[in-house]
Amino acid sequence: MADTDAGMLFMRTMRALVRFDDVVIFAYRGKERPIDLFSTFGADDHEIFVSLYQAGPYLLDPFYHAARAGKAGVFRMRELAPDRFFSSEYYRTYYSQTKLAEETGFFVACPDGVTVVLSLMRRERSGTFPAGEFALLADVVPFVEAFVGLAWPQLSRRFDTLAKGSSRRRREPANAADRIWQKLNLTDREASIVELVLQGFSSESIGLTLAISTGTVKVHRRNVYRKLGISSQMQLLSVYLKSLEA
């Protein structure tokens, strides 16, 4: 089944159950650039939701991290987002451009470490998904899982093909994300903390996640800012995204 045909069938089926404005379906594998399987956006929105997202911001997306963690089922974005996500620089500079009231995603595990996330989006004018509609989505999780298995059975091969092409163009491993911190001369601990900061975790949550004190987290943050010659999270995000593009 072609990606567009599968996406349209999914969209029509969901419209029979709940109200939403847009659909986007991504396949994820590790830290690799996600594959855009289907979306309903016009040209301007496609640039924000797909093209710009694939260029690097996906690495800070709660849905991406939930996919990597092996989440399965249907979730609202606010269920998965870190405690400071909606006040993070990533949210202010990227995610807020989407002008969404809510994003809800089906997470479907596929063979070879691939996860497909099928997102239903409601714009600000539409409000969030009511509890009754979200309950309907939870009821159809088994159907969505079966549908993804039939519609996209060979996704790992597509990732392999893209990875080989990227490696040939760059003459180096395709996964640029793992090289960022080495280029920025950060230690493993500093890199771990910066990733969590950019995702929207508070210093307190980072301390709990890494089993260190909040004071130690703040010391590492100050050291990172000094190393990079910056003084704000906005500058940190800018450095991070520029490093992805390099």
Question: Which of 222, 228, 178 has its CA nearest to residue 203?
Answer: 222
Question: Which of 236, 241, 229, 228 has its CA nearest to residue 89?
Answer: 236
Q: Is 27 exposed, middle or buried (0-12, 13-18, 19+ CB in 10 A)?
A: buried
Cβ neighbours of 98 (radius 10 Å): 16
Torsion angle defined by CA atoms of residues 50, 54, 169 and 31, in that order, rounded to the nearest 10 degrees: -150
Cβ neighbours of 35 (radius 10 Å): 19
Structure token pair of residue 92: 């202010």
pLDDT of residue 172: 44
Contact indicator for 208, 18 with CB cutoff of 8 Å? no
**Interior/surface letters 114-134, b for 16+ CB within 10 angstroms, e for the rest:** bbbbbbbbbeeeeebbeeebb
Q: How far apart are CA 119 and CA 116, in angstroms?
A: 10
Which residues are 105's β-sheet partners?
Answer: 75, 119
Mean pLDDT of residues grouped by 10 in the chain (246 residues)? 95 97 96 94 90 87 94 96 90 85 97 96 96 97 97 94 67 54 85 92 94 95 93 88 71
Biggest CA–CA distance in the chain, Å, is 54
Contact indicator for 166, 35 with CB cutoff of 8 Å? no
pLDDT of residue 145: 98
pLDDT of residue 175: 52
Q: Is 36 exposed, middle or buried (0-12, 13-18, 19+ CB in 10 A)?
A: middle
CA distances from 37 to 8, 10, 81, 161 (A): 11, 12, 23, 15
pLDDT of residue 174: 44
pLDDT of residue 173: 40
Contact indicator for 224, 217 with CB cutoff of 8 Å? no
Question: Which of 86, 82, 66 has its CA nearest to residue 74?
Answer: 66
Question: Quick one: how far is CA 243 from the chain centroid?
Answer: 18
Q: How far apart are CA 173 and CA 179, in angstroms?
A: 9
pLDDT of residue 245: 65
pLDDT of residue 181: 76
Question: Quick one: how far is CA 115 from the chain centroid?
Answer: 12
pLDDT of residue 171: 41
Name the pTM for this structure: 0.87
Q: How far apart are CA 232 and CA 21, in angstroms?
A: 35
